[in-house]
Amino acid sequence: MYDDILKNLKQTPPRALNDHILIVDAMNTLIRSFSLLKAMNPSGAHVGGLVGFLRSLGYVTRIFDPTRVIIVWDGKGGSGNRKNIDPNYKAQRATSRITHWGLYDTKEEETEALIGQLYRTQDYLECLPVQQMVMEKLEADDIMAYLAKRASNAGKKSYYSFFR
């Protein structure tokens, strides 16, 4: 019985590190999770960004079965170049709240919680077999496009993971 199963298994060649690259827009995923998930830890602290990020990463990893995962963060000052071209680029984001379900009293309190979850997410990712990437003065989208183009030019598959 087991011999039949083993004979019918399809032989697949081993995959190299860069055969199937999953490229994740980290800040986009974190902010979406932070704004949508009301998950709280036992101490009562909001952890929706962290929990949602890790769940999303697990989901897309299972779907695409990549050989490499690159988590791309926006670099400090990354929007500067685009704001020089178009002063209205992301103009509404600075004043608007991310969450709309009343957990945070002020925009500053909300921002502080998001930054705390960002650092914690980055720390957790250090424990996983993923690569994190950030470059000053560049947005994640620009880095992701560059990585995907390089992979494509090398005949490799790459997948973007971000939600719009």
Strand partners, 132: 71
The domains of the chain, with CATH numbers, are 14-161 (3.40.50.1010)
CA distance 127 to 110: 26
Confidence at residue 58, expressed as pLDDT on a 0 to 100 scale = 96
pLDDT at 6: 72
pLDDT for the residue 163: 53
Q: What is the pLDDT of residue 38?
A: 92
H-helix segments, the chain = 2-8, 26-36, 48-64, 80-85, 107-125, 140-153
Q: How high is the pLDDT of residue 94?
A: 63
Token pair for 123: 């720390």
Query: What percent of the chain shows pLDDT beyond 90?
Result: 66
pTM over 0.85: no
Helix (H) or strand (E) holding 22: strand 20-25
Per-residue confidence (pLDDT) for residue 79, from 0 to 100: 76
Q: Which two tokens stand for residue 68?
A: 């490499």
User: pLDDT at position 164, please?
Assistant: 45
Query: Which residues of the chain carry a pLDDT beneath 50?
Result: 164
**Burial degree of 17 (CB within 10 A; 0-12, 13-18, 19+):** exposed
